[in-house]
Structure 1
Amino acid sequence: MRTIVITGGTDGIGRALALRRLRGGDRVVALGSGPVKGERFLEEARRLGAGDRAVFRRADLASAAVSRAVAAELAQAYPVVDALVLGAYRHHPDRVETAEGFERTFALYVLSRHLLAEGLRGSLERADSPVVLSLCGVGTRAGRIDWDDLQQARGSYRSLRATMQGARANDLLGVSFAERHAGGRTRYVLYNPGFVATGMAEPLRQPARGLVRAMARLFARSADETARQVAEVLDHPPAAPLSGFFRGGPVDLGRPGFDREAAARLHGALQDMLGETVRSDRPGGGGAGRREDRTD
């Protein structure tokens, strides 16, 4: 029986993948911030006769401390992890700071993925065919990384800009992981599923919410179909240390979006962020924005 850890595992693609893996006989640890969705996931697992193989761990992964703690907890509970699927993401129309002083989109979309992949690497390395699969940008040409203001602390906040920067940063996380752990056994897969019908429109303001809903009805693929394709990659991960896919098709990793120097630069920036005491004048952090006090 394999052990699969899925962030964002109680909604959208993550939930569809979690239920598919349970039907296939795997143990699934689903991480999510909502207890209601978590209980629904467990109820569905019980209906499938897989209640003993389904675990829900409530965690707000926008907190770096929580991400670290969850990684350490799972590493101890599961000495062998066969796959880590990084799918947690939430749209924020306004700039929100976590209690630790990080911009919330960057914290959830980038920092948590870095911390979980590094924290669970020991358990992954003990598996027969370990893989980290990150649902991300895979070389998107849209957006850019603002090296001088990674958390949009200066000027006006743009949610789309934050999202697209996160997508590009996640591509670089894969490059960095493969470079720094070149002697390891864990493969890192970057996967962009394209336009998928999930609940991503709900946090949007009108009229954008209605427009996205209408486009989803016309053009989006289902979460179940996407989960089927992702499951195939988990079952048969590529042999290369790093690979990329867009809607199931391979992506050329020789493109500029996968630059090794940029990946090393991002890794250094994350280390600086995560090692600093929270200060309002921290480069790339603090600044104008609504402060969030909870870290559950």
Structure 2
Amino acid sequence: MKTILITGGTDGMGKALAITQLKNGHRVIIVGRSKDKGSQFINEAKQLNASNRAVFLEADLSLISENKRIIEFMKQEMKSLDTLILTAADQSYRPNKRETKEGFEFTFALYYLSRHVLSYGLKSLMEKSNGPIIINISAPGLKGEVKWDDIQMSQNFDSTKAQRHGSRLNDLLAVSFDNKNEAKHIKYILFNPWAVRTTGADASAKNKIQQRINAFIYKLIGKTPEEAILPVIDLLDAPPKETLSAYVQKKGVDLSMPTFDKNKAARLLNETNKLIQK
């Protein structure tokens, strides 16, 4: 039995992965903001006779303090961690910048900072596992430049651009983590599911007309969360040999792309640590 931690595990792909892994006999801890959705997960676990293997942790992962609380819980309650699946995100369109209580732009904090803090904070616990894997569900394989003079995308805010920028930061997070993965024991996988039919996908549109267009497009080409997780399940069952890899669905991504530059990854790590320590 493996121990699996899933952020954003109350919705979409995170929820589908959580239920699937419970059915496969593993211990699953999910993290989410909604008590109601967390209770639904626990009830579904009971129906599967898996309530003793299901845990819901309520947390706002846009806050560094909450991420650290989850890390401390895991270290106190679990002897090791086999799999960390990072899916927490908020795709909702926002016309204006939203700042967390800790002073960070919300999308930057939830989509990037949380994944940074959890990846590094749980590293020692994962090193105690026989075959640890981190899966960061974002959007590797796409072009884009990091805005070093506005890394949080706070100026001239656009929530869609902020989300895309967050994926570029996650690309560099994976590279820097692999560089710090001295024992080369943990495998870090970036995964782009492409189009997935979720409520978040509809909410990302600026207006009702665009929402309808998105709904039509996703109905044509989008996958259900249950379909979208199938390549992730394959990666968990048969992980790649490399300690760092990236995929768009089942297709591997060329890590020689500029978005995976090691020097930029080191720079981002340095700047992120400065932000966290302020």
TM-score by length of 1: 0.90
CA distance in 2, matches of 1:127, 1:252: 28
3-state SS, counterpart of residue 163 of structure 2: helix
For residues 210-289 of structure 1, what are the structure 2 equivalents within 5 Å?
Answer: 210-276=212-278
> Are the counterparts in 2 of residues 144 and 164 from structure 1 also a CA contact under 8 Å?
no
**Which letter maps to 1:59?**
A
Residue 208 of structure 2: aligned partner: 206
Distance 2:253 2:147 in 1: 24
Letter in 1 for 2:243: P
Q: Is the 8 A contact 2:145 2:259 kept in 1?
A: no
* Secondary structure of 2:150 counterpart: coil
Residue 145 of structure 2 aligns with an amino acid whose one-letter code is R
CA distance in 2, matches of 1:23, 1:125: 25
Gaps (5+ residues) in structure 1?
277-296
Query: What's the Cα RMSD here?
Result: 1.2
Q: Partner of 1:122 in structure 2?
A: 124
Matched with 1:148 is 149
Q: Please give the secondary structure, in 1, of the residue aligned with 2:215.
A: helix
Q: Write the deviation string for residues 44-78 of structure 1: whole angstroms up to 9, x where unpaired.
A: 11111111111100110000111111112112211
Alignment of 1:69-108 (within 5 A): 69-92=69-92, 93=94, 94-108=96-110
The answer on 1:2 being equivalent to 2:6 is no
Q: State the percentage of identical aligned residues.
A: 36
Structure 1 residue identity aligned to 2:264: A
Partner of 1:291: none
Report which of the two has the higher share of helix: 2
Structure 1 residue matching 2:85: 3-state secondary structure: strand
SS across alignment from 1:207: helix
* Structure 2 residue matching 1:191: 3-state secondary structure: strand
Give the match for residue 60 of structure 2: 60
Q: CA deviation at 1:102?
A: 0.1
User: Hey, what's the Cα distance between the residues in 2 that align with 1:203 and 1:47?
Assistant: 33
Offset from partner CA, 1:105-124 (integer Å, 9 cap, x none): 00000000011111111111
Note the C-alpha offset of 1:228: 2.1
| SS of residue in 1 equivalent to 2:104 | coil
Deviation of 1:212 after TM superposition, in Å, equals 1.5
* Whole-angstrom CA distance in 1 between matches of 2:42 and 2:210: 33
What one-letter code is carried by the residue in structure 2 that aligns with 1:82? D
* Contact 2:160/2:204, CA 8 A, preserved across alignment: no
How far 1:203 sits from its partner (Å)?
Answer: 5.5
- Alignment partner, residue 43 of structure 1: 43
Q: Does the aligned pair in 2 maintain the 1:171–1:258 contact within 8 Å?
A: yes
Q: 2:125, 2:238 → 1: CA distance?
A: 19
Corresponding residue SS for 1:245 = strand
Partner SS state of residue 31, structure 1: strand
CA contact (8 A) 1:133 1:189 kept: yes
Q: Distance in 2 between matches of 1:152 and 1:186?
A: 30
What's the CA shift for 1:241?
Answer: 1.3
SS of 1:97's equivalent? coil
Consecutive unaligned residues of structure 2, counting only runs of 5 or more, are none
CA offset at residue 269 of structure 1?
Answer: 1.0
Task: Tell me how many residue pairs correspond in the alignment.
Answer: 274
Q: In 2, Cα distance between the equivalents of 1:262 and 1:38?
A: 38
